[in-house]
Amino acid sequence: MALKIYEIFHSVQGESSRVGLPTVFVRLTGCPMRCTYCDTEYAFSGGANMEIAAIVNQVKSFGTKYVTVTGGEPLAQKECLVLLKTLSDEGFSISLETGGAMDISEVDARVSIILDIKTPGSNEEKNMRWSNLDVIKAKDEIKFVLCDRADYEWAKEKIASLELTHKCPILFSPSYHELNPNDLAKWVLEDQLPVRMQIQLHKILWGEKPGV
């Protein structure tokens, strides 16, 4: 059983509650969405087919406990579910970065899901699968990438109306080229929102490019 893999690399986790941890990233090729702020357009195509056993062996070669499966949109390839189970069976601590349009209900329960809720500024709000919130677990995380103040207000309303803080931790991330992190920090403090504000550590360290 094979998946199309764009890259596998060892880096520092730049986001989520795992920020700063040495992590192996398995980036799958392809994505059905076209977010305005996408920073991995290069992974929409290309890469190479790899058998799951070969992927696992390459992950093992880095000697790191933490693995992030990402994209693109990893769940767009149905075999990703098998990869997640196999990596979990091997004892790795797995996080899955998913854009919110694909069903997460069959993801192995041992995997920590980072679910991206698409804001109006992303131009992909229409493709959100809101039913995913019915199966989100307490150890998962919900992420909002915010492009401007309107996105912030929209996200704040969603947190309240959907009672998201009762489901799992919430992440607020400023869109890298659009929203000043200082502004977002100020709004979060003023409104006393129970969210984790994050900036992308890997971009601060190495810039915006593949393999980091």
Instruction: Give the pLDDT of the chain (212 residues) as one tens digit per residue.
Output: 899 999 999 999 999 999 999 999 999 999 999 999 988 889 999 999 999 999 999 999 999 999 999 999 999 999 999 999 999 999 999 999 999 999 999 999 999 999 999 999 999 999 999 999 999 999 999 999 999 999 999 999 999 999 999 999 999 999 988 899 999 999 999 999 999 999 988 888 787 778 77
CATH of the domain at 150: 3.20.20.70
Range of the domain at 157: 2-206
Nearest to 38 by CA among 115, 121, 129, 126: 121
Nearest to 70 by CA among 103, 115, 21: 115
Q: Other C-beta atoms within 10 Å of 74: how many?
A: 27
For residue 211, being part of any structural domain is answered with no
- The span from the CA of 22 to the CA of 3, in Å, is 24
For residue 212, being part of any structural domain is answered with no
